[in-house]
């Protein structure tokens, strides 16, 4: 089943264009879509990092950008052995549970083996 924010792409576009309510949309879906569409969003490239360094860099990156009022960021973890992907998704799940981030997901149109995650702050 597609993610709700993928299903809301059309509703978001029409609501933004017309300035009207349009279809009912999920605020989390809108936050993720805005983050995905912002090509100037800050990026954290974790290629070549080890797990402890990834944990430190990701926590600092999210905290600094959230404090700056940034709507969303991109985190690039690469494919490699999957260790960085595991730690990134585990940390993001914990951050979401604590309310430090709105949500996170792989970009629209990317395969499930994407090496990037979009984070709505």
Residue with the bigger pLDDT between 30 and 68: it is 68
- Amino acid 30: pLDDT: 74
As to burial, measured by CB atoms within 10 angstroms (0-12 exposed, 13-18 middle, 19+ buried), residue 48 is: exposed
**What is the residue whose two structure tokens read 């926590």?**
59
113 membership: H or E segment, kind and range: none
Residues in the chain, how many? 121
Closest by CA position to 76, among listed 48, 55, 46: 46
Q: What percent of the chain has pLDDT over 70?
A: 74
15-25 pLDDT, tens digit per residue, is: 444 444 445 66
87-96 pLDDT, tens digit per residue, is: 999 999 999 9
Domain count, the chain: 1
Q: What is the CATH number of the domain that holds 38?
A: 3.30.1370.110
Q: Which domain holds residue 17?
A: 4-120
- Amino acid 63: pLDDT: 97
């Amino acid at each position: 089943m597609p993610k709700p924010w993928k299903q809301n792409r059309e509703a978001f576009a029409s609501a933004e264009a017309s300035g009207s309510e349009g279809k009912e949309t999920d605020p989390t879906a809108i936050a993720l879509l805005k983050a995905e569409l912002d090509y100037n969003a800050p990026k954290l490239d974790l290629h070549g990092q080890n797990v402890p360094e990834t944990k430190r860099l990701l926590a600092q990156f999210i905290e600094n950008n959230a404090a700056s009022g940034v709507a969303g960021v991109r985190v690039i973890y690469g494919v490699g052995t999957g260790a960085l992907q595991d730690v990134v998704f585990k940390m993001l799940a914990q951050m979401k549970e604590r309310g430090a981030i709105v949500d996170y997901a792989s970009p629209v149109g990317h395969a499930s083996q994407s090496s990037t995650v979009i984070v709505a702050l």
